[in-house]
Chain A
Amino acid sequence: MFTATLRVPKRGNTERECEDAGRVRSADGTVLAAVADGASESLLAGEWATLLTDSLLDSASDVLRDAESFAAGLAVAGLAWQAWLDDYVVGREAAGRPIAWYEQPKLDRGPHATVLAARFGAGRWEAAALGDSCLFQVRDGRLVCAFPLDQANAFDNAPPLFNAFNRDTVLLARHVRIAAGTTEPGDGFFLCTDAVAEWFLRENARGGRPWRVLRGFAGDLEGFAGWLDAVREEGLMRNDDVTVVHVDLG
Chain B
Amino acid sequence: MTYSAEISRANPSCFVFLVDQSASMNDPIGGGGQRKAEVVADAINRLLAELSVKCAKEEGVRDYFHVAVLGYGHTVGSAFTGPLAGRDLVPLSQVADQPARVEKRVKKVPDGAGGLVETTTSFPVWVDPVANGATPMCHALARADALVGDWVARHPDCFPPIVLNLTDGESTDGDPATAAWAVQTHVTADGAALLFNLHVSAANAVPVTFPDTDVALPDPYARTLFGMSSLLPQHMRFYALQQGVPAGDMARGFVYNADITSVVQFLDIGTRATELR
Interface residues of A (CB under 8 A from B): 12, 17, 37, 39-44, 100-106, 109, 111-112, 157-163, 166, 171-172, 175, 239-240
Contact = CB atoms under 8 A, between A and B. Distances in A.
B8 A102 contact: no
Interface residues on B, range: 20 to 34
Nearest to A168: B276
A105 B53 CA distance: 7
A60 to B, nearest CB: 26
27 contacts: A17-B57, A39-B270, A39-B271, A39-B273, A40-B269, A41-B269, A41-B271, A41-B272, A43-B56, A43-B57, A102-B49, A103-B56, A106-B273, A112-B271, A112-B274, A157-B268, A157-B270, A157-B271, A158-B272, A159-B271, A161-B271, A161-B275, A161-B276, A163-B273, A166-B275, A166-B276, A175-B276
A160 B274 CA distance: 8
B223 to A, nearest CB: 35
B93 to A, nearest CB: 10
B54 interface: yes
B11 to A, nearest CB: 8
Contacts of A105: 53
Nearest to B61: A102
Contacts of A171: 276-277
Interface in B70-126: 96-97, 102, 122, 124
Q: Which 10 A-B pairs have the closest CB atoms?
A: A40-B270, A41-B273, A101-B122, A39-B271, A102-B56, A112-B273, A102-B52, A12-B10, A39-B273, A158-B272
Contacts of A240: 270
A49 B154 CA distance: 36
B6 interface: yes
Nearest to B270: A40
B273 A109 contact: yes
A39 B272 contact: yes
B274 A158 contact: yes
Given A43-B57, A102-B49, A239 B274 contact: no
Given A41-B271, A161-B276, 14 more contacts: A12-B8, A41-B54, A102-B56, A105-B53, A157-B268, A157-B272, A158-B272, A158-B274, A159-B271, A160-B276, A163-B273, A163-B275, A163-B276, A175-B276
Nearest to A194: B271
A175 B124 CA distance: 38
A101 B124 contact: yes
B8 to A, nearest CB: 6
A248 B61 CA distance: 41
A39 B102 CA distance: 28
Contacts of A102: 49, 52-53, 56, 61, 96
Interface in B19-73: 49, 52-54, 56-58, 60-61
B190 to A, nearest CB: 14
Contacts of A112: 271, 273-274
Contacts of A175: 276
A249 B10 CA distance: 41
